[in-house]
């Protein structure tokens, strides 16, 4: 079964779409994060859930 670690970002309403895209692109390229969920609120702010796989090493004898 896969395990994921999550990162939740809150992007303020003043942030442009291009700036938000740049932040998410950097997280994806350099941190191996992928978009799990994005919620746009009525006030214009965004909450973004990013996830990445947790790789656990299995001990062998």
- Each residue of 11-37: b (16+ CB within 10 Å) or e? beeeeeeeebeeebeebeeeeebeeee
Query: What pTM does this model have?
Result: 0.82
Work out how many domains the chain is built from and give that number: 1
Query: Strand pairing partners for 46?
Result: 11, 40
pLDDT at 18: 96
User: What is the domain extent for residue 20?
Assistant: 4-53
| Mean pLDDT in residue range 34-51 | 96
Residue of 2 and 29 predicted with greater confidence: 29
Does a structural domain hold residue 59?
Answer: no
CA 22 – CA 16 distance, rounded (Å):
10
């Amino acid at each position: 079964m896969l395990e994921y670690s999550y990162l939740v970002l809150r992007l303020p309403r003043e942030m442009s779409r291009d700036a938000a895209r740049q932040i998410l692109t950097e997280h994806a390229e350099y941190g191996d994060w992928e978009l799990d969920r994005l919620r746009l609120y009525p006030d214009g702010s965004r909450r973004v859930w990013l996830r990445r796989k947790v790789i656990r090493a299995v001990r062998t004898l």
